[in-house]
Structure formats: C-alpha cells, structure tokens
Amino acid sequence: MRILNTIPVWLLAFTALACSSTQQVPTAGAENIKSIVAARSFVFRAQTVLPMSGRTRQVAGDGYEVMISKDTVNSYLPFFGRAYNAPIDPSRNGLDFISTDFEYTETAGKKGGWEITVKPRDNRDVQQMFFTISENGYASLQVTNNNRSPISYNGIITAESSRKRKK
C-alpha cells in the first residue's frame, strides 16, 4: 500500500526534472567576457524585454542586439511602451540607430562584473544606455529616452554579432 502512495510523488519528480531548463550561456568563460569588455568590442543580445508598463516579452533568437565597438554603437532593439511623440519616420520603430559620437564610461561592479554607460550625442531620442554585465556573460540594459518611457532588457554578452552587417 505504501508503494502505491509513493508512485504519484515519483512521477511528479521525474516530470519536474524532464521539464527543467538546461540552457547555457554561449560564451567561452569569464576570461573571454573580461577581454571583450576591456577591448570595448562586444555584442549585447537581448532575450527578454521589460517595459515600464505591460507584460514581459521573450525575444531570444529574433536578432535583437546592441553592437558596441570603439567608434560605433549599433542598436537594433524592439520597443514596447509609451511614446510621448510620434516618430518622424514610421519605418524606424524601436531603438534602431547607429551612433558614432558617444560618451563611454566603464566602472567595476560591486559584486564583480562591470557597469557601462553609453550616452549617444548624435541621437535625439536616446539619452543613455546603462549596461550591467556579470562576470559569466549575463547582462541587463536600461535605456532612458527623451520621447519614450524607459525600458529594460535582459540578455547575454558575446563577441560576435548574429546579424549580417549592412555594407
């Protein structure tokens, strides 16, 4: 009789183990993250969008990312939230811009990792992009806009872009 009572418990445990996620960060480790952040050449790949109002959205695999290099910030991110002014060009939705004139500030994080602030000077819409990067490659990004509500993204840091660059 005791065996019959424990069968549902074992089935539940095996089902929970089978459904658990085992997704790994596709990076080569902490030394690789340290070197690409120090070189100012990394790509933030967004996986989750957290708008100020509304629901959280998963965007992993859709190619949404921010490419940072020493001389360029190339942003291709979605935006979900409130816009205070309508965009002049309706085909340019989201946070889709390229900046070559920007301020880049890097500081060490409290628990390891880095905090990076990027302030584009040649973009009227984006005031600031604030990256919080952990030593193992996970990162969050908070974007403050002039004409839109603030928005946050969670994702990973990699060395290479998944998007094909326009020539």
> How many angstroms separate the Cα of 49 from the Cα of each of 75, 97, 100, 117, 120?
14, 18, 25, 19, 21
User: What does the block give as tokens for 131?
Assistant: 């990256």
Q: From CA 48, how far away is CA 95, in angstroms rounded?
A: 15
Q: State the pLDDT at residue 88.
A: 74
pLDDT in tens, 102-154: 999 999 888 888 999 999 998 888 999 999 999 899 999 999 998 889 999 99
Q: Mention every residue, 6+ apart, whose C-beta is less than 8 A from residue 29.
A: 136
Buried-state track 117-133, b at ≥16 Cβ within 10 A, e below 16 = ebbbeebebbeebbbeb
Please calculate the CA angle 48-143-51 and round it to the nearest 5 degrees. Answer: 45
Please name the amino acid found at residue 78.
P
Higher pLDDT, 167 or 73: 73
14-18, 89-93, 94-98, 114-118: range with lowest mean pLDDT: 14-18
Residues of the chain above pLDDT 90, percent: 41
Q: State the pLDDT at residue 15.
A: 53
Q: State the pLDDT at residue 81.
A: 83
pLDDT in tens, 34-61: 888 889 999 999 999 999 888 999 988 8
Q: Are 77 and 106 in contact (CB under 8 A)?
A: no
Q: From CA 15, how far away is CA 18, in angstroms rounded?
A: 5
